[in-house]
Amino acid sequence: MNRARHPDVITRERYDAVLFDLDGVLTDTAQIHAASWKRMFDEFLRSRAQRTGEPFLQFDIANDYTSLVDGKPRYDGVRDFLRARGIDLPEGSSGDAPGTESVCGLGNRKNDFVNAAIASGEVVTYPASVALVRRLRAEGFKCAVVTSSQNRAAVLEAAQIADLFDTAVDGNTIVEMHLAGKPAPDCFLQAAKALGVPPARAVVVEDAISGVEAGAKGRFGLVIGVARHGNAEALKRHGAHVVVADLGELNNGS
């Protein structure tokens, strides 16, 4: 993809706030989630194949993760993947034991894998992303984290960047406020509201297709797609105004 720099994309004349996704944008934790989804679904699919005699078709990170679960609330991701495979499971409840064959049980199993990875010190940041947040704050922008993850607090703490953000909307907020998850714009709209900034004066920064769709649907002033995996064209098709491979490509006036 074209890695030309994009000076003056985010300016104080046009915008007052920048809303960042977490996994894959600020922290290199998208790979933790992808690996956790794969481990959980492969366990389930292998066990199901052994019981039913159906062929075992593994979870594919390149296709299944990107198109069906990336960026979505955990149970939505489980539900959408199972639907794509033609598998019908009961919804269950958030209290289901991890691994129970329900939407919530499978989601809870995946979450156990994520928490174990966080606890073992696997969270790292993207240096250019953190540098951009610091620069934006110095220039007077309000900054927020907007993520479907319910592990947001633990990840920010592990990455030592929790103090860089004025507010956060995460998977717990989605549940508590009964918000629709990405690709609906609700999470970003809630963050903008908390910051007291209209969507037209706010920037969304996302690496997931569902996230750039949410930014576009919310009519945010600027949607920046971060193409970590060579998916620049897909991000553009789904609503990104500008696409970069890394946030270091944004000069932001410097």
User: Is 21 an annotated catalytic residue?
Assistant: yes
Instruction: Catalogue all structural domains in the chain, each as residue range(s) with its CATH number.
Output: 17-29+124-249 (3.40.50.1000), 31-119 (no CATH)
- 98 Rama sector, left if φ>0, alpha if ψ -120 to 50, beta otherwise: beta
* pLDDT tops 90 at residue 145: yes
* pLDDT tops 90 at residue 31: no
pLDDT of res. 254: 42
How far from the centroid of its chain's Cα atoms is residue 41's Cα? 19
204 bridge partner residues? 19, 223
Angle, helices 209-217 vs 186-195, to 10°: value is 60
Burial of 154 (0-12, 13-18, 19+ CB in 10 A): middle
| pTM across the whole model | 0.81
Catalytic option among 8, 16, 21, 112: 21
Q: For residue 194, what pLDDT band results from cuts at 50, 70 and 90?
A: very high
125 bridge partner residues? 27
Catalytic option among 16, 23, 76, 170: 23
